[in-house]
Homo-oligomer: A and B are copies of this chain.
Amino acid sequence: MDNVSLLRDSLDAISGLVTEATFEFSPSGLILKAIDPAVVAMTVLQMLPTCFTQYEVSSPVKITLNLDYFLEVLKRAKQSDKVIIELQSDKGNLKVAMTGNIKRNFVVSLLENPDKEQKVPIPEFVGEVVIDNDVMHEAVKDCQMVSDCATFKASPQSFTITATGDLNNVKHELTKDSPSLKSLTFKEEQVSKYSLEYLEKVIRGDKVAEVTKLQFKTNYLLEVEYRAKDKLSLTFILAPRVDND
């Protein structure tokens, strides 16, 4: 792996939700599924072997790591370093070797795999909207000025993100002719509300992709997907905020 940024940037977003993660390596690539302790957000990362300069996994293996430390190690790689990640099953650890002007080895201890596998639901949606990454960044920052949640509303003509505070409110609107709106396939209006605290963590994943794909339904889950073609997909699923009044 000459360039660790895809793995590092994906894990950086995921580390906002969980502190430990189980990686499933197989000949066809790497899968990571995680659910945050509050069960508000789920994430699935899939990386194809093409994400790595070299990828040698002969049989499936599942390992659990402290995500924060593993990520901290990956962040220590310099751009010019060649990075080799090697499972040392017998020693119960993962060796991360970085070679540049000097040779550095980081040993990351394996944790016990959890007893049960994470079951990530497969949501059903009725439309999607694809937008530039920075729209979500601006919208989350703007909305956080007045509230802790944002309302997503999609119609056949427009996609809006609004937040309403006690005194003030904020509205982002993208219409069919906005250059930042890449695709909009909703046939009927859908409205749902999501936590800005979680959205703020999720959008850290957008470094791996050029656009953000959003799917949602009234008072239902939101799926945020980042995709690097033929390389990886990083998906987050957020529970809606449903008002009790």
Contact (A168, B108) CB under 8 Å given A73-B145, A76-B141: yes
A102 and B145 in contact, given A66-B167, A109-B167, A167-B66 (Cβ under 8 angstroms): no
A58 close to B (CB within 8 Å)? no
For chain A, give the interface size range. 20 to 34
CA distance A72 to B145 in the complex (A): 8
Q: In the complex, A93 Cα to B165 Cα: how many Å?
A: 13
**CB-nearest residue of chain B to A76:** B142
Cross-chain contact of A102 among B69, B104, B172 (Cβ < 8 A): B172
Known: A72-B145, A76-B142. A102 touches B167 (CB 8 A): no
Q: Which residue of B lies closest to A158 (CB)?
A: B103
Q: Is the CB of A102 within 8 A of B178?
A: yes
Task: Give the complex CA separation of A170 and B95 in angstroms.
Answer: 10
A179 at interface, CB cutoff 8 A: yes
A171-B104 in contact given A72-B145, A145-B73 (Cβ < 8 Å): yes
A135 touches B102 (CB 8 A): yes
Question: Which residue of B105, B138, B171, B179 is within 8 Å of A170 (Cβ)?
Answer: B105
Q: Is residue A183 within 8 Å, beta carbon to beta carbon, of the partner chain?
A: no
The answer to whether A170 touches B104 (Cβ under 8 A) is: yes
Q: Is A101 positioned at the interface, with any CB of B under 8 Å from its CB?
A: yes
Residue A19, interface by CB 8 Å: no
Besides A103-B174, A103-B175, A106-B142, 8 other A-B contacts (C-beta < 8 A) = A76-B141, A76-B142, A102-B173, A102-B178, A103-B178, A104-B142, A105-B173, A106-B170
Q: List 6 A-B contacts (CB under 8 A).
A: A93-B168, A102-B172, A102-B173, A103-B172, A107-B168, A107-B169
